[in-house]
Amino acid sequence: MITLRKAKEQDLSVIADIAERTWPLTYGDIISSEQLRYMLDRMYSHAELLLQLEKGHTFLILSNDMVDIGFAGFSADENENNVYKLHKLYVLPDAHGGGFGKFLINEVVDQVRKAGGAYLQLNVNRANKAKDFYERMGFRVKETVDIDIGNGFYMNDYVMEIAL
């Protein structure tokens, strides 16, 4: 049975664990192991996830048969009215193909609509095959960006958007 819960501080370790188990397979052929480790340490430390939670990010944790297998994280864009940003969406690799990513996206879209959002945006690495998934879900490429994240590393992304 699929269940969804809004994450609290005690759930942040679940989010970090899923990221640790997902990122090497997702990005191992796209970015260096040094960049992968740098980004995981920077984006998924307890302190960083707690800061995001305190700033109003919503994290949803998806469980299947009482096992946590995925999560999504989103928030209102601080710079644009009626725009929300999907910051994170990951499902454990052995659960891919089960409709769990689609379930998470649909839930985020529903919550953003209820909150008055008109657009949902996300960044996806230009070499990440998840881009095809997002396009199937109705997202379109809005722009191409290269974001300096420090230590000589860049995120080479598409910004994708869906109108709600």
Produce one character per residue of 4-17: b if its CB has 16 or more CB atoms within 10 Å, e if not: eeebeeebbebbbe
Regions of the chain where pLDDT drops below 70: none
Q: What is the pLDDT of residue 57?
A: 97
Q: What tokens were used for 90?
A: 């990951």
Instruction: Give the Cβ contact number of residue 46 at 10 Å.
Output: 12
From residue 70, how far is each of 130, 144, 146 by CA, in Å?
Answer: 15, 27, 27
Q: What is the pLDDT of residue 111?
A: 98
| Angle, CA of 15, 136 and 125, to the nearest 5° | 50
79: exposed, middle or buried (C-beta count within 10 Å: 0-12, 13-18, 19+)? exposed
Could you tell me the CATH superfamily of domain 2-163? Answer: Gcn5-related N-acetyltransferase (GNAT) (3.40.630.30)
The per-residue pLDDT for range 110-124, each reduced to its tens digit, is 999 999 999 999 999
3-state per-residue secondary structure call for 53-68: HHCCCEEEEEEECCEE
Q: What is the pLDDT of residue 119?
A: 98
Q: What is the pLDDT of residue 32?
A: 97
Domain ranges of the chain: 2-163
Q: Where are the beta strands (DSSP E) in 18-152?
A: 58-64, 67-76, 83-91, 119-125, 140-150
Q: What is the pLDDT of residue 63?
A: 98
Q: What is the pLDDT of residue 135?
A: 98
Q: What is the pLDDT of residue 9?
A: 97
Q: What is the pLDDT of residue 54?
A: 96
Assign 92 to helix, strand or coil. Answer: coil
Alpha-carbon gap, residue 50 to 100, rounded angstroms: 25
Indicate the pTM of the whole model: 0.96
